[in-house]
Amino acid sequence: MPTYKYPRPSLTVDCIVFGLDAELELKIMLIKRDIPPFEGEWAIPGGFVRMDETLEQAALRELQEETGIQNVFLEQLYTFGDLGRDPRDRVVSVAYYALINLVEQKVQASTDAREAYWFPLSKIPKLAFDHDQILQTAITRLRSKIRYEPIGFELLPRNFTLSQLQKLYEIIWNRSLDKRNFRKKILSMDLLLDTGEVQHNVSHRAAKLYQFDETKYLQLKDKGFNFEV
């Protein structure tokens, strides 16, 4: 075994997963810890990186083990390394975040998680470690991201209305948007496909259903744009 002149900190990963439910409420996945430290407290899913896996492999493994969530695209968020952030040892954490549609994911707590639960962003409990800071960093990134990348493909159902898409933006930005200006802006981007269908079984006037043009969506994610309403 090699020896090192300097002590090495431990390395962990944390996974912030945003999900949109059927009522178009944006939520975050949290687990209740089943082991010390912070036993019985809510936290972001995550854990220690093994010697034989990459950071992303560790993040995907921990997410599946603690919540049952799998087959998601994780994007690296930030590295957190404040002294004393973990009472066990000198620990540096690399945080990832993901966007998913809640209808398509089953949740089941296991390993060192007592419970796994979706919390609305407006009702987040106090979190263990420095996870409050990690979550706020992820929210800030998400609010910034939708100004220069399209968003919704991972969160919305395949067919959706313009009102549902606008509601998603309003939830993330935490403010109301002018309906006329939003629709003019989003339609001018030539990003949506009219399915030729309308909503069914609704009490109000049925609205048109749209889909994202996946090719154009990916192109815009790659080159970016400026979305201001």
Task: Give me the domains of the chain, ranges plus CATH numbers.
Answer: 10-145 (3.90.79.10), 162-223 (1.10.10.10)
Q: pLDDT (tens digit, 9 = 90+) per residue, 104-139?
A: 777 777 666 789 999 999 999 999 999 999 999 999
User: Do residues 99 and 93 touch, judged by C-beta distance below 8 A?
Assistant: no
User: Do residues 8 and 45 touch, judged by C-beta distance below 8 A?
Assistant: no
Q: Which positions are catalytic?
A: 115
Q: pLDDT (tens digit, 9 = 90+) per residue, 7-45?
A: 889 999 999 999 999 889 999 999 999 899 999 999 999
Contact residues for 44 (Cβ-Cβ < 8 A; gap 6+): 14, 15, 16, 30, 31, 95, 127, 131, 134, 135
**172 pLDDT exceeds 70?**
yes
Element (H, E) at 13: strand 10-20
